Structure formats: C-alpha cells, structure tokens
Structure 1
Amino acid sequence: MAGWLKQLITGDTTRPTSAMRAASTGALRQFYEAGTPAASTPSEQLRLLAVDVETGGLDPHKHPLLSIGWVPINGREIDLSGAGYYVLNDGNDAAGVGESATIHGLTDDAVAAGADPQQALTALLKALSGRVMLAHFKNIEQGFLSHACRRYFGAALHVPIVDTFALERRHMEKMGTYPRGEDLRLARIRGRYDLPYYPSHNALTDALACAELYLALDVSTGAILKQLLNP
C-alpha cells in the first residue's frame, strides 16, 4: 500500500523518528525541536490548535492544498487572537481548482492571488508549536499537511491529533447509538450539541466550529491527552 494512502486511512500520528527530525528543515525542524505536550497532560491545561484544510480532492499527491485555517485553544478557552487563515497558490495555475470549487467556493482567481505555500505552512507550524493538533476527521489534515511539509521542509509532519470525529463516534457507541449516514458530519454533530450553524467548507470557519465542538464534548473535560488521542 502506498505510504500516503496508508497514512490517509490509518491517520498515523506517531511522533517523528530521529531520521525525520534530521531530514526536516526550516519551520518544521523548529516545530520538532519545540516538542509537544506530554501524554499525561490534563485537558484543562492542554494547548491545542484546531486546524482545517480545503483541498482540490482526496489524494495529496494529485490534488492541491487550497486553504488552511486554524484557531488556538488554551485549556477550556478559544483564543481568536491567534487565529489564522491562508489561501494557497502553489504556482500550478494549469491545474486550477476544478469541480471542487462547488464545495469550498474558492475560485481560480482567489487561488492565483493566494499566499506562497511555504509562507503559509511556516505560519501554521509556528502557531502549532508546543501544541496538539485538533481536527474533525483528522486523516485529511494529516495527509495533506504531511505531504506539503515533505515538499517544502524535507520531512512529513508527525504530530499528535485529537479528532472530534473519533471522540463523538466513540461517545455514540458507548451510548449504544451507532452512527449512520451523515451522523458524524461536523454540522450534524454541532446541531446535537445545540451549537450554532455555520456554513461549511471555509477552512477558518470549520476550524472554529471544530474548536467549539471539542469544548462542548463531555469527554474533553477531566481527560488526559492520551485518552483524547485514543478514545
């Protein structure tokens, strides 16, 4: 099985090996040198970064990474002052956004005016420094960001990721209610927790929506990081 596909399916979030650290450059090396929170860190003290990406498809080797949004969480508080959002232009104007524009709303013109991906990734890694990533269905973020870091910084991104998709799925299973259809979509879960409706598929809005959902989940209170990573 191809490495990227295995990672996309398994959502591998193992910590980087010494070889990966040695191969990394620039902002990724600085991120690895900063380290991540210990597995025993209580959720009330945990520093996370909710991250969402919009892409041109599901295969990071074939489809472009179009935008990145993030929102920090410090313990039980969202810090909007640290939020960030970038539309990316990787210089491949011939590819365009294709039919994916009907999902995320990003046009070829918006992407053409976007930021240099290395600049955007540097900002993301700086914001992620010393934190755990938070995502909803983490495999997409892990796959695309790892591929981008390998391209621009010489090594894949390996970081512990708390996944609200997995947390809610486990909660439903414990309650004897097994998810069906779209039960685990971000907007559907937010509705069950009486959180406000946000339009989907804007990376910054979805990152905020994920952060709010995390704080609404019962499992996020009184847990340690290890439990959140393996619900």
Structure 2
Amino acid sequence: MKTRLGRALARRRLRDSAYAFLFDPPPDDEVVCVDCETTGLNRRTDDIITLAAVKVRGNRILTSEKLDLVVKPGRPIDRAAVRVHHLRETDVARGLPPQEAVARFLRFAGARPLVGYYLEFDVALIERQTRPWLGIGLPNQRIEVSELFYDWRTRGRDGLYTGNVDLRFATILGTLDLPRLPAHNAFHDTVMAGMIYLKLKALLAS
C-alpha cells in the first residue's frame, strides 16, 4: 500500500483511531526489521508463535530497542516446523494472545518502514490479525532485503552480471561477508536482516 490514495483509503477504513499513528510520517532514517516463527509455512492457515522486531537508526542496529514475543497459536505446531525452530507446544503454551502480540508490534514499529527477508510472508501473518480487527493491512513501506541484494548483484557491476542470483539467506550473508547468528530464531533473524540492509544500503549508494 504505497500510493497516497491507497493510504488515504486505508486511513478511512481504520476502525480504531488509537492506531492512527500508523499513518504518521515516519521518523527520519529509521526502519524496523521484523521476523516471525510460525506453526508452518501456509500464510493462510498457520499461526505466529514468535514475533520479533528491532529498530535500525541511521547505520546502527539498536538491539536495546527490540521486541521479542512468544505467541500462543490457535493451532498445533507442525512437526516439520518444530524441527526447524525447535519450539514445541509447551514452549508457547503461555504465550501472548495473537492480537495482543500484534498490538505490541504496531506500537513498537509505528509508521516506520519494515525490513525483512521473505517479508511478504511475515506481513501476511500479521495482517491476518489486523484486517478483521482494525479493518486494514499494514500501511508501512516494505523493504525486502533479497530484492536489495538482487539489485546489487545485477546493477552494481556496471550491468555486466548476467548469471542467476542465489537469494538464499545464507548465501546473501556469505556473499556480503556478514556473521551468521543461530538461524530460525526470530530475533536473530531480525538482526541479520538489519545487517544485510545496512551493508546493501551502503553498497548501493557507493
């Protein structure tokens, strides 16, 4: 939802004026990296079990300004998902209700642009809460780090690079010579997305 008209229409549909801040001008040079771990990989039926976010201001990842929430899902966790993120039913049984977790995320992120890897998936899961509750999807600008990486690989070499671009998360980190934190942990993934974002922002600007 990037157009001015689209934002205006969404603001009119907003059901709770307490969240009108989502349409405020964002702070200068700030973004929020976001990641979710889930019960499975179906954006229409699976649920969030952890929701993490961290602010990036200028060229700094503000790990002291973070959100790291455990969420109680409305469905069982798929066994294949447990093997990936190692979160079991007992680990999330005392988690926050999904709407409360998303409300905390909205207050944390505000109107800042959202940054992530496969961000479309995370946003879709968050919007499954916001649409029936607030009447809107997320109006925030979205920055997909794999798209930035693709732009750098294809445009950052005077147009000479013509091969396929491997957009796997580990490949992006390795190519950019960035450290890899333990994977499939929502907070670690937000920090790594932040590192990728800052590195590519600098490379694309040079």
TM-score by length of 1: 0.76
CA distance in 1, matches of 2:17, 2:198: 29
The reply on whether 1:65 has 2:48 as its aligned counterpart is: yes
Which residue, 102, 111, 115 being the options, matches 2:92?
Answer: 111
Query: What percent identity do the matched residue pairs reach?
Result: 24
Structure 1 runs of 4+ aligned residues shifted over 3 Å read 12-19, 25-28, 177-180, 218-223
CA distance in 2, matches of 1:28, 1:213: 33
**Number of corresponding residues:** 200
Unaligned runs of 5+ in 1: 1-11, 38-44, 224-231
The reply on whether 1:21 has 2:11 as its aligned counterpart is: yes
Residue by residue over 1:90-133, the C-alpha shift from the partner in whole angstroms, topping out at 9 and shown as x without a partner, is: 4x2xx211121111221111121211222211221112113111
The reply on whether 1:31 has 2:21 as its aligned counterpart is: yes
Which residue number corresponds to residue 78 of structure 2? Answer: 98
Which residue, 48, 58, 70 being the options, matches 2:31?
Answer: 48
Cα 1:184–1:221 shift into 2, 3 Å: closer
Residue by residue over 1:16-44, the C-alpha shift from the partner in whole angstroms, topping out at 9 and shown as x without a partner, is: 5444323324487233342436xxxxxxx
Contact 2:54 2:66 (8 Å CA) reproduced: yes
The reply on whether 1:199 has 2:182 as its aligned counterpart is: yes
Q: CA RMSD in A?
A: 2.4
Cα 1:199–1:14 shift into 2, 3 Å: farther
The higher relative CO (CA closer than 8 Å, separation ≥ 6) is in 1
Unaligned runs of 5+ in 2: none
TM-score by length of 2: 0.85
- 3-state secondary structure, aligned to 2:180: coil
CA distance in 1, matches of 2:149, 2:40: 25
Residue by residue over 1:30-85, the C-alpha shift from the partner in whole angstroms, topping out at 9 and shown as x without a partner, is: 33342436xxxxxxx51100111112233332111221111100111111111111
User: What pairs with 1:1-231 in structure 2 (closer than 5 Å)?
Assistant: 16-26=6-16, 29-36=19-26, 45-90=28-73, 92=74, 95-99=75-79, 100-174=81-155, 175=157, 176-180=161-165, 183-219=166-202, 222=205
Contact 1:214 1:220 (8 Å CA) reproduced: no
